[in-house]
């Protein structure tokens, strides 16, 4: 059978990759449904026994604070433990539910038109603390990874392959949704942490505008026969809106021309100790 290529994608490989995501999404969603039913019907004593069983199985161990392994300057959003010997490995039903819920919401954000995906997926009181911690760690990991990404300057200026720019676009959409959820769950956060989240949101909003501009300009210059597929509905909506608006004269300027992780992305706004 002939392979149809769109924007350089091999559709046979493309479908396999997306099929894997669908399977993962189904597995996490199915697990969440069963976990929620278990929490609703089990007694506190039964849940305690379940946690003891989970703690004996190494495959249920969930590493946390993964963002600490990514180079970045000290930041008020960094996770801090009162235990100097904390391995940041967690076990228990709440942590399993927190992980599953974060994964389901992340796929929902990147591949569906669902608004406020992290609020849509929600969290119960049972696993809320674990969910909040994993959500913040996921946000930090993505943010610092982008700060250290040597390809980002080319992507920001629209000089990378269009497929790669689209991937970055979906990453930024995901980060902004994670950040929005983190802000909703930051009722007990320190004022400087709230301020830092707001600064990150401003940075990411500007970054998304640059990516949308780059994709829009590619589409405007592409041959009429070329079909451009945007697998992220949220990103596609932003691009369509830009296509319907007057043509801007230049790419949106970065907040700073500094390297990612220095001024334009990754440096604290002054709230870092």
What is the rounded radius of gyration, in angstroms, for the C-alpha atoms of the chain?
21
Structure tokens at 26: 């189904």
Condensed to tens digits (0 to 9), the pLDDT of residues 151-196 reads 998 998 888 999 899 999 999 999 999 999 999 998 889 999 999 9
- Cα distances from 75 to residues 80, 185, 192, 268, 272, in angstroms, run 11, 19, 10, 7, 5
Domain ranges in the chain? 5-243
Condensed to tens digits (0 to 9), the pLDDT of residues 221-263 reads 888 878 788 878 899 999 999 888 876 655 565 544 333 444 3
Closest by CA to 182, choosing from 172, 197, 169, is 197
Once rounded to an integer, what is the mean pLDDT over residues 39-59? 94
Residue 182 and residue 176 in contact, taking contact as beta carbons nearer than 8 Å: no
Closest by CA to 169, choosing from 71, 242, 98, is 242
| Coil, strand or helix at 260 | coil
Q: How far apart, in whole angstroms, are the C-alpha atoms of residue 144 and residue 139?
A: 9
In three state form, how does the secondary structure of 65-103 look? Answer: CHHHHCCCCCCCCCCCCCCCCCCCEECCHHHHHHHHHHH
Residue whose tokens read 């391995």: 87
CB atoms within 10 A of CB 33: 11
| pLDDT for res 157 | 83
Whether pTM exceeds 0.95: no
| pLDDT for res 253 | 55
Residue 36 and residue 124 in contact, taking contact as beta carbons nearer than 8 Å: yes
Residue 270 and residue 229 in contact, taking contact as beta carbons nearer than 8 Å: no
Phi/psi at 149 (5° precision): -80, 115
| Coil, strand or helix at 190 | coil
Q: How far is CA 152 from the centre of its chain?
A: 16
pLDDT(11) > 70: no
Condensed to tens digits (0 to 9), the pLDDT of residues 90-123 reads 999 999 999 999 999 999 999 888 999 998 888 8
């Amino acid at each position: 059978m002939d392979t149809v290529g769109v924007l350089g994608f091999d559709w046979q490989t493309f479908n396999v990759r997306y099929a894997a995501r669908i399977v993962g999404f189904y597995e996490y969603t199915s697990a969440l449904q069963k976990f929620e039913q278990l929490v609703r019907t089990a007694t506190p004593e039964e849940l305690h026994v379940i946690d003891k069983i989970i703690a004996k199985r190494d495959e249920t161990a969930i590493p946390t604070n993964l963002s600490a392994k990514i180079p970045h300057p000290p930041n008020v959003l960094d996770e801090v433990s009162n235990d100097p010997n904390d391995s940041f490995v967690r076990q228990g039903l709440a942590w399993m539910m927190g992980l599953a819920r974060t994964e389901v919401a992340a796929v929902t954000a990147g591949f569906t038109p669902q608004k406020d995906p992290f609020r849509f997926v929600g969290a119960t009181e049972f696993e809320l603390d674990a969910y909040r911690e994993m959500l913040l760690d996921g946000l930090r990991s993505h943010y610092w990874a982008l700060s250290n990404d040597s390809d980002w300057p080319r992507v920001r200026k629209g000089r990378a392959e269009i497929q790669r720019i689209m991937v970055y676009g979906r990453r930024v959409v995901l980060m902004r949704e994670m950040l929005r959820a983190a802000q909703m769950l930051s009722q007990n956060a320190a004022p400087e942490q709230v301020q830092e989240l707001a600064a990150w949101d401003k940075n990411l909003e500007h970054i998304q505008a640059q990516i949308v501009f780059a994709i829009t300009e590619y589409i405007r210059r592409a041959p009429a026969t070329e079909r451009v597929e945007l697998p992220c509905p949220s990103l596609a909506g932003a691009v369509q809106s830009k296509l319907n608006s007057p043509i801007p004269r230049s790419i949106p300027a970065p907040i700073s021309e500094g390297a990612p992780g220095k001024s334009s992305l990754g440096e604290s706004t002054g709230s870092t100790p």
